[in-house]
Amino acid sequence: MTDYAKLIDAETWAFIERTNSYYPPDTIDYTITQQREIYDRMCREFFAGYPEGVSAETIVVVAPGHDVPARIYRLAGKAPEAVVLYFHGGGFILGGLDSHDDVCAELCGRTGYEVVSVDYRLAPEHKHPAAFDDAMAAFEWAVARYSQPIVLAGDSAGGNIAAAVSHATRGHVRRPVGQLLVYPGLGGDRSRGSYVSHAEAPMLTMRDLEFYKDILTGGEDRTGDITLSPLADADFANLPPSVVITAECDPLSSDGEAYGERIVASGGKAFWFEEPGLVHGYLRARHTVTRARQSFTRIVDAVAVLGRGEWVW
C-alpha cells in the first residue's frame, strides 16, 4: 500500500480535505445530475477570480448540427502572440465554461495569450466521440479566426482531448505549435505502473476511472481508438512539441510518462515532469498549496514557450 501520509504534505492534505467537504469521495454513487451539481458547487467554492486586465466573452462556435459554446479571454492592452485552445477536465461528464473559468483567466493574464475555453458536449447524453468532434470543430474555427500560432492545452479529460486533437491535426497546414497536458488520461495500460501503485489515491481512484470510461463509451470496448486513447497510436511522428505535467499521487501519472517517451522515441520534442506529492485536480490548489503554486508557474512558463516556438528544455 502506498503511504500517502509520507508522500503528501500538510498543505496538500488541507486542500484534499477541503475538496472532500464539497465533493465527497463517494460522489460517483450519485446520479449524473447530482454529481454535476456537487462538482459545480465545488468549483464555485474554489473560484479565485480574474487577474487585473483580463476580460471574457462567451460565444458559440458553429459546428455541424449544433453549436459549441466557448469563452474567449483577453488581456487589455496586449496583442496576443499566440492563442491557447483549452479543454477542461471533469471525467468527460462534468464541468464546462465556469468550472475552469479562473484557470483560463489566469493563464491568459500570465501569458498575455488569448485563451479560448471549449465547452464540449458531455456524456452520458453525448457519448464518445462527441467531445472529440466538438474539439475538432473548435480547432478548425480557431484556424479560420486567428493568424497567431495555436497551442492546445487541457487538464485530465481535457488533456486527453488536446492530445487526440494533436494526433488528428499533425498533418494540418496550421497544425498546433505545441500542446500542454496536465495530469491527462491517455489510454495507458491499466494493469501496471501508477494504475496499480496509486489505484486508491486521494482525489482519483481506479474505481472513478472505470466509472468515467463506462459512461463515456456506453460500456463499449473502444480499444485501439486513437481519438479516445492517444497512446494506442502506432505512429508518434510529427507531433507538436509537448509538455506533460503529472501528479505523483495519481493513477494517471504513468500515462504522461509513457506519452512523453513515445514522442521522444519517434524523434519529437517532449518534456514530462511529475510533480512530487501532488494529487489529481491540484490546479484548484494553485493559490493555497506551495507545490501547486510552483507547478502552475511551470505550466504558465511552458505555455508561453510553446506559443513563441522557443523550445528550451
| C-alpha neighbours within 13 Å on the C-beta side of residue 100 | 31
* Helix or strand (DSSP H, E) at 33: helix 32-46
Radius of gyration over alpha carbons of the chain, in Å?
18
**Can you tell me the distance from the alpha carbon of 246 to that of 234, in angstroms, rounded to the nearest whole number?**
23
Which of 21, 55, 147, 156 is catalytic? The answer is: 156
**Can you tell me the distance from the alpha carbon of 259 to that of 271, in angstroms, rounded to the nearest whole number?**
10
Residue with cell 496536465: 182
Contact by Cβ (8 Å): 40, 22:
no
Among this protein's residues, is 156 annotated catalytic? Answer: yes
Provide the total of helices (H) and of strands (E) in the chain, helices listed first: 10, 8
Catalytically active residues are 156
